[in-house]
Structure 1
């Protein structure tokens, strides 16, 4: 329905990525360590508290977060349940994805009865909630946002000015009429590049 630009930093799903796990080998310990630290920070629980909730020895959890040890499926599953996340987020975390539709590139459907046109930028998934915000930004320090709850997605349409936004590791410059969506459950930023920049932000929560 729409013609979209895909962020060049996004991995091609048709190609293998050595940093991601596959069924034929064990998940890399560094991925597990990074995932555990990230999810524990997001949940706001201490090492001791998470170990207690999961029924795992604190020393075992400490080793896992340090990138050592030999975690079993049962241990990782228990940690996932204690953190309220799917098992897969610990062994194969999703890469941040960015989707951009530049102004004028969306497929438009027009009315036969009035000068009215509509372009679908993003359909809301079943069971999701979307909150609407109006953003106003001025040049200066960027707004650095911490990761939101797992599965959060941010949708932004710039109405005036220019800004950089997206995952902190790979933000994108967007201008009037541009639409961008990206994972909100990773650190991200908003930075005005022109005075009186405004945008509509739709926060999607599963």
Structure 2
């Protein structure tokens, strides 16, 4: 239900499904800054491990040779889409490209106070943004809490996007393009979210669910 980058504009002035406008810019900018430190050395190490020249990696990834060179010298903050293209060309996971060293463990904790919360227009639904900032362009995760009667409306995400809603407590109804489906505790509902969609708490108690949005179009551009 988060739109495009599920921090859009719909619920409570923001479309919980799409990190749009200033919010999206801030998130992507923070992610790029966090990555810039170790990214250059990692890309260069992987490129040389495959015996690829800058020109060859550029051809395989679709990223300009000059941009790759700047990334390796830590002279630019690449977008997440650029990082994804390089990862595909180097045949490694995004995690591998982003890690500091091959053997160093990765641990990153966000406190409850630092977890952003989006509120629906009716004030009865809350979305805690628990997804990783570095994957916001293609994968977003949220914890949904909805009071009885609460409604969470979301704009359409990018074409080809899919959302997965796993209910832990209560009973929710999802409506997509006029089609409705009920999902109860212990059940998971997946649906296209590249069109306006609505989540309602039709039960008599508060509902809790985990929401994951896969922005297919974002990684296929």
TM-score using structure 1 length:
0.36
Higher Rg: 1
